[in-house]
Amino acid sequence: MILLLPAAALLLQQGSAPAKLPDFTGPKKRAVVASFKLAIDKWTITATAPSGGTTDTQVTITQTDTLGAGVADMLVTELIASKRFLVYEKKDDEDLAKAIGARGGAGTESQGEAPQAKALGAQVLLKGSITELSFRKKLSSIAIPDLADVVGGAANFVATVGIDLKVIDIESGLILDSVQAIGKVGAKSSTLGFKLEGIDFKQTTFEDSPIAKAMRAAVRDGVQKVCARLDRVPWESRVALVSETEEAKLLYLAFGSESNIPVGTVLEVFRPGRPIVDPQSGEVLGQETAKILGKCRVQTLNPKFSIAAILEGSDFQAGDAVRLPPKSGS
């Protein structure tokens, strides 16, 4: 469907806006974003004529890849705006699979996916699906003999988009969080045009359409829900290289200056436990207790990596993890 809207159309956000997230200055988690999938293959247009008659039309979604990539772009923008994430975007699923299971994580979300891309240092994967896409309009000046042609006249309309958003721990494949979000945008317009041969998501007019604005509202709502919960998940990163000589014992770590970890920070070094997987369902149930290896102190921050001096411990390996030590009493 090509949606033609006048520049003077008045768009009104429907429903209550999500609560504003508190300011955040802590360490930024590195996230990988996948293209959105469609849990639906059609979207619904409901039109009500001045006479009260209603017509429902199911429109096939033909540009699924373009739509999924577009919503993923919106997700990347909102994640960066939250100031809680460094975002690594992979739209190609084959390449994205390499970011999963940094230590061979098994389970529903990472089974069979390549473990060799642990150099990404990503902590979480965000995967989404579009579960609802609808457009409801009420015309006040003309009848609707057939919805398959151009429709004109004064109208009130509401676009609705629903998404599901999952956050997956890349290490274990465990689903850390799953949220549902709805975006609704209403508008009043004196003219509307529709052609039902497939919506063109690449057109610049789409960005200003109610459907696009409803998508962004749904994504913003989903990100705020995810952030509020992930703030309680400890930040982690990876050991990229171990360098132990007579002069110095150093760890090269897979986070850089943008991660909000200051020089002088003491980090705990540990080896993550293996995922515990249900042998019948393949569901990740949890993870073995991590093995604490020692501590290090950040000495140097570079754009993409940092260098830390080993303070205590031994048997460090590339692929081990680092985190902020738990606070006393916690």
* Cβ neighbours for 71, distance < 8 A, ≥ 6 positions apart: 35, 36, 128, 130, 163, 215, 219
**Average pLDDT rounded to a whole number, residues 232-241:** 90
Q: How much is the pLDDT for 140?
A: 59
Q: Do the beta carbons of residue 150 and residue 194 sit within 8 Å?
A: yes
Q: How much is the pLDDT for 263?
A: 96
Q: How much is the pLDDT for 147?
A: 43
At 141-199, the pLDDT tens digits run 544 444 443 344 555 778 889 999 999 888 777 888 899 999 988 766 544 444 433 45
* Cβ neighbours for 303, distance < 8 A, ≥ 6 positions apart: 256, 257, 258
Q: Which of 305, 323, 293, 311 is nearest to 241 (CA)?
A: 305
Q: How much is the pLDDT for 18?
A: 53
* 54, containing H or E segment: strand 54-60
Residue 241 — φ and ψ, nearest 5°?
Answer: -155, 140
Q: How much is the pLDDT for 129?
A: 92
Neighbours of 144 (CB within 10 A): 18
Both tokens of 314, joined, read 């031994």
Res. 283: pLDDT tops 60: yes
Give the chain's mean pLDDT: 75
Say which residue, 117 or 199, is predicted with more confidence: 199
Q: How much is the pLDDT for 170?
A: 82
Backbone Cα Rg of the chain: 24
Res. 299: pLDDT tops 60: yes
- Of 7-21, 47-61, 202-216, 312-326, highest mean pLDDT: 312-326
At 55-112, the pLDDT tens digits run 777 777 777 777 888 888 899 999 999 999 998 766 444 444 554 443 333 334 443 3
Please give the Cα distance from 271 to 287 (Å, whole number): 12
- Total-model pTM: 0.73
Res. 230: pLDDT tops 50: yes
Q: How much is the pLDDT for 204?
A: 52
Percent of the chain whose predicted confidence (pLDDT) is above 90: 30
Q: How much is the pLDDT for 50?
A: 65
Q: How much is the pLDDT for 149?
A: 39
- At 267, is the secondary structure helix, strand, or coil? strand
Indicate the pLDDT class of residue 210, thresholds 50, 70 and 90.
confident
Q: How much is the pLDDT for 96?
A: 46
